[in-house]
Amino acid sequence: MSPAAMMGSEEGEEINCGEIDDISMSYQKGVKHLQERGITKLPNKYILPFSERPNLREIAVGPAIRFTTESNALKLPVIDFSHFCGPNRSQALASLAKACEHYGFFQLINHGIPSDVIDRMMKASRDFFELPFEERSKYMTSDMRAAVRCGTSFSQKRDNVFCWRDFLKLSCHSLPGVLPFWPSSPPDLREAGVSYSKKTKNLYLELMGAIVESLGVAEEGAAIHQSEKSGLEEFGGGSHIIVANCYPACPEPDLTLGMLPHSDYGFLTLLLQDEQVEGLQIHHQGRWVSVAPTPASSFIINVGDHLEIFSNGRYKSVLHRVVANSSSTRFSVASLHSLSFESMVRPSPKLIDDQNPRRYKDTSYADFLEFISLKEHKGKNFLESRKN
Ligand SMILES: O=C(O)CCC(=O)C(=O)O
């Protein structure tokens, strides 16, 4: 073979140009595909610079995988949703405000979504990632506005270093318009997704009603979709995306991440975590701390960039990331909510005064998509770009 046809591979050995195409095609096919090929070393494409690598100490506890140790365990505040509907509402609102101000994350219990709705969504997501690559790849597109989008890493077109995750994104607004585009396989995905989407949307609206009240910008905690007073009646028709994440077991989890540090763009994210396999970490008081797996009967809720803007910085979106592990595949399902595509998010006028000047420019979901199509979404760089 001529030297011109030879190049150094990512692993350092010599390969020919045909193989290079094969390797880069493998990255594009996602990490599930790499895992199925039985790789035992992490390809360089996934290796983070030293300073960005996680500091892992993986512990097997029975069938479960944990990273939590005495030094990095975090107990998230627990918010009992049932208290919003009774005599304890004002106390529950105060706890909600505290959780959003000091953590940006909380665990929500007694939310009223039936467990079979949650179990079916989790199962349909897992089953999707079990489909052959040829079936999943029908939904691979770089069109961020597509009704369904399957892919790997964060932006597989632009990421220099890939993350160790595959995803399926289902746009949920409006359901009748998007449903015909959703995958028809696995057979239960559409039905499970529709019930899950309706229930999580209602829960989100109820939570936003409580959040608006906790900020003191609505006289009552009426659900936002019914509220004329808050000026936020657009919430009911806002964007809603369900993201199913799959993080297969990784040969060298110390060298990579399932998801790089980021904040979520919307108002709130409702996250269903894997019950057995830990992986979510949040940046709290200057260090990375693990969030222990939560029972499927509860959600992890986090404040997004749009809520930080709306609250004029009182509630903070918080950096979070996902660590990989060497023995078990981890799944999660995130439900991300914001206003409709072109609607403007701005600080509530009632939260601006001489002591609290307006801290952010107007922005929209469309602005976020444009930003990430031009720049890498790193940390909170989108929100930083919206500061006054
Ligand atoms: O998998 C997780 O626990 C977190 C997922 C996440 O951060 C996201 O989908 O934005």
CA–CA separation, 159 and 177 (whole Å): 31
Atom of ligand 1 nearest to the CA of 258: 1
Choose the weakest-confidence range: 61-65, 189-193, 229-233. Answer: 229-233
CA–CA separation, 107 and 72 (whole Å): 18
What band does 14 get if pLDDT is binned at 50, 70 and 90?
Answer: very low
Tokens 């089953």 map to which residue? 127
Q: Is the CB of 334 under 6 A from ligand 1?
A: yes
* Residue 249 pLDDT > 90: yes
CA–CA separation, 265 and 252 (whole Å): 30
Given this model, what pLDDT does residue 220 score? Answer: 36
Atom of ligand 1 nearest to the CA of 300: 3
Average pLDDT over residues 41-54: 93
Which domains, ranges and CATH numbers included, belong to the chain?
A: 1-46 (no CATH), 50-385 (2.60.120.330)
CA of 367 to the centre of ligand 1 (A): 21
Q: Tell me the C-alpha to C-alpha distance, in Å, between residue 52 and each of 109, 140, 324.
A: 33, 28, 14
- Percent of the chain predicted with pLDDT > 70: 86
Q: Is the CB of 306 under 6 A from ligand 1?
A: no
Mean pLDDT, rounded, of the chain: 86
- Read off φ and ψ for residue 269, nearest 5 degrees: -115, 135
Q: Is the CB of 335 under 6 A from ligand 1?
A: no
CA of 373 to the centre of ligand 1 (A): 20
CA of 322 to the centre of ligand 1 (A): 7
CA of 228 to the centre of ligand 1 (A): 33
Q: Which DSSP letter does residue 201 get?
A: H
Residue nearest atom 9 of ligand 1, based on CA coordinates: 334
* Residue 13 pLDDT > 50: no
CA of 40 to the centre of ligand 1 (A): 25
pTM, full prediction: 0.88
Q: Tens of pLDDT along 64-121?
A: 666 655 556 788 999 999 999 989 999 999 999 999 999 999 999 999 999 999 999 9
Q: Ligand 1: which of 129, 277, 319, 320 to mutate, judged by most atoms within 8 Å of the beta carbon?
A: 320
Average pLDDT over residues 190-208: 96
Residue nearest atom 1 of ligand 1, based on CA coordinates: 332
CB atoms within 10 A of CB 49: 7
Tokens 């601006």 map to which residue? 352
Residue type, position 374, single letter: L
Q: Is the CB of 280 under 6 A from ligand 1?
A: yes
The answer to whether 256 touches 53, Cβ cutoff 8 Å, is yes
Choose the weakest-confidence range: 4-8, 59-63, 272-276. Answer: 4-8
Residue nearest atom 6 of ligand 1, based on CA coordinates: 334
* Residue 226 pLDDT > 70: no
Choose the weakest-confidence range: 65-69, 201-205, 228-232. Answer: 228-232
CA–CA separation, 56 and 18 (whole Å): 36
Q: Tens of pLDDT along 112-152?
A: 999 999 999 999 999 999 999 999 999 998 888 899 999 99
| Nearest residue to 33 (alpha-carbon basis) of 206, 215, 162 | 162
Render the burial of 176-185: b for 16+ CB within 10 Å, e for the rest: eebbeebbee
Q: Is the CB of 245 under 6 A from ligand 1?
A: yes
What band does 16 get if pLDDT is binned at 50, 70 and 90?
Answer: very low
Number of C-alpha atoms within 13 angstroms, CB side, residue 283? 14
Q: Tens of pLDDT along 360-373?
A: 999 988 888 888 88
CA of 10 to the centre of ligand 1 (A): 28
CA–CA separation, 77 and 282 (whole Å): 13
CA–CA separation, 77 and 100 (whole Å): 10
* Residue 222 pLDDT > 60: no
What band does 231 get if pLDDT is binned at 50, 70 and 90?
Answer: very low
- Percent of the chain predicted with pLDDT > 90: 62
CA–CA separation, 80 and 94 (whole Å): 12
